[in-house]
Chains A and B, each alone.
Chain A
Amino acid sequence: MAVVVLPRSLAQVLPGLPRRAVVEGATVAEVIAALDADWPGLRDRLLDAGPSIREHINVFVDGELATLDTSVRPDSTVHVIPAVAGG
């Protein structure tokens, strides 16, 4: 099962969300769906209409920038990182 590293800032709006979660999923989309099953509402914080990954959220699979269709292996590490933006 893949390891997903989640941003600390997301835990402020999803109480109990861990920094690291272990979930099943063959793609980034499936991984996010699995996370949403355990922490309802997380999908809406990461995905926009389309569906698409929100503009200022970057998802990396094993260090490579990913899309929702990007494959995830059982030994993959997925990083969800808010982009450098704001003010």
Chain B
Amino acid sequence: MAERILLLIGTRKGAFIAEAGPDRRSWALRGPDCGGFAIHDISRDAATGALYAGGGSPWFGPTVFRSDDLGATWSQSSEGLTYGDDGPKITAVWNVTAGHGAVYAGVGPAGLFRSDDGGQTWRHVEGLTNHPSRPTWEPGAGGLILHTIVPHPTDTARMWVAISAVGTFETRDDGATWEPRNTGVRAGFMPDPYPETGQCVHKLVMAAGEPEHLYQQNHCGVYRSLDAGLHWEEITAGLPNEFGFAMVSHPRDAQTAWVIPLNGAENGRYMPDAAAAVWRTHDGGDHWIRGDRGLPQKHAYLGVLREAMARDELEPVGVYFGTSTGELFGSADGGLSWDPIATTLPSIYSVEAIRIEV
């Protein structure tokens, strides 16, 4: 059996897959798949091996694609992915995550859907949409989007979700009820900078092996929580900017994570000083280290969206990110050095790394 690394790449014009051996040096690219739909997220169900790709088409609407052969062929279904004939129209699927024996989809306008049959049919998790704060939910620049789903690894009743310009929520009763988890997170664009909801969380990740230990990249800084999101501590100090979208955590080390700071929200949202860099911490965010070897350092007006960074599970860990200009970069040494993998893809919305044996 040979080990292979697959990068699942969601773009504005469909899904692509890049494949390499464990050296992560020579990549073969295939695609586009999924009918040219804009694909916002691709992930794998570790339990079944199925790949799921969520997205939407201006013509044909939102849907979730599924592949049982590592992307060679795809089917799709959005049956039940609706707020009803009297409800708001769903425009796209922004996240698709398997967990707790089911598959979950985050959509815009923000809401959570669940499939118990591998994506064939979907039902609305109404408990979240029925939260008392719902009337106050306002869209961010990218819309009112449920973009992150983090299932608890062992407790099937628990899950966290993140919604742009609304905040993080947790359920402890399998989605029946939800509680905000935003204490300590700044919302600098609001009169009260520490409201119960309204924070613009961009990405939420769990530390390896520690379900109570969370990180988030927010519109207004980077944060960590050691109590499952009940309280957040800002760890932005040392980064060139508080703003950014993407964040990933190490597969085995709870103290290691990577972020890609971007210059200000109203200042173009590209890498500071137009010099590309990925920053990492090895102490939970107390200190940050810049990694830019091999990345363009001049005229790099690159943005990286929230789902467009990933890591594999090899040692050393491989880290990957895709830009909104269609460039895909990879590091086989945890972010110390980088190489281009693809440079002419459509705008990249998401990157996921999986390991297979063939």
Contact = CB atoms under 8 A, between A and B. Distances in A.
Tell whether A pairs with B: yes
Contacts of A54: 59-61
Contacts of A45: 60-61, 63
A49 B59 contact: no
Candidate in A12, A51, A83 with the most chain B CB atoms within 10 angstroms = A12
Contacts of A86: 58-59
Nearest to B37: A13
B54 to A, nearest CB: 14
B89 A10 contact: no
Interface string A10-51: 101101000000000000000000000000010011101111
B82 interface: yes
A41 B35 contact: no
B62 to A, nearest CB: 9
Contact of B77 (A15, A41, A57): A41
A16 to B, nearest CB: 11
A43 B84 CA distance: 15
Contacts of B59: 9, 54, 56-57, 82-83, 85-86
A44 B56 CA distance: 12
Given A49-B85, A83-B59, A85-B59, A44 B34 contact: no
Candidate in A46, A48, A85 with the most chain B CB atoms within 10 angstroms = A48
Nearest to A54: B61
Interface residues of A, number: 21
A9 B35 contact: yes
Nearest to B77: A41
Contact of A13 (B58, B60, B83): B60
B49 interface: no
B241 interface: no
Contacts of A9: 35-36, 59-60
A14 B136 CA distance: 39
Given A41-B77, A56-B58, A48 B37 contact: no
B315 interface: no
Given A9-B36, A41-B79, A49 B89 contact: yes
Interface string B208-247: 0000000000000000000000000000000000000000
B36 A12 contact: yes
B177 interface: no
B76 interface: yes
A85 B58 contact: yes
A41 B120 CA distance: 10
Contacts of B36: 9, 12
A44 B88 CA distance: 15
Given A12-B35, A12-B36, A86-B58, A49 B87 contact: yes
B78 A44 contact: yes
A64 to B, nearest CB: 21
Given A83-B59, A86-B58, A49 B83 contact: yes
A13 B89 contact: no
Interface of A: 9-10, 12-13, 15, 41, 44-46, 48-51, 54-57, 82-83, 85-86
Interface of B: 34-37, 58-61, 63, 65, 73, 75-79, 81-90
20 contacts: A9-B36, A9-B59, A9-B60, A10-B60, A13-B37, A15-B75, A41-B76, A41-B79, A45-B61, A46-B60, A48-B61, A48-B89, A49-B84, A49-B89, A51-B85, A54-B60, A55-B58, A85-B59, A86-B58, A86-B59
Q: Which 10 A-B pairs have the closest CB atoms?
A: A12-B35, A13-B35, A45-B60, A82-B59, A56-B59, A44-B78, A49-B89, A56-B58, A48-B89, A49-B85
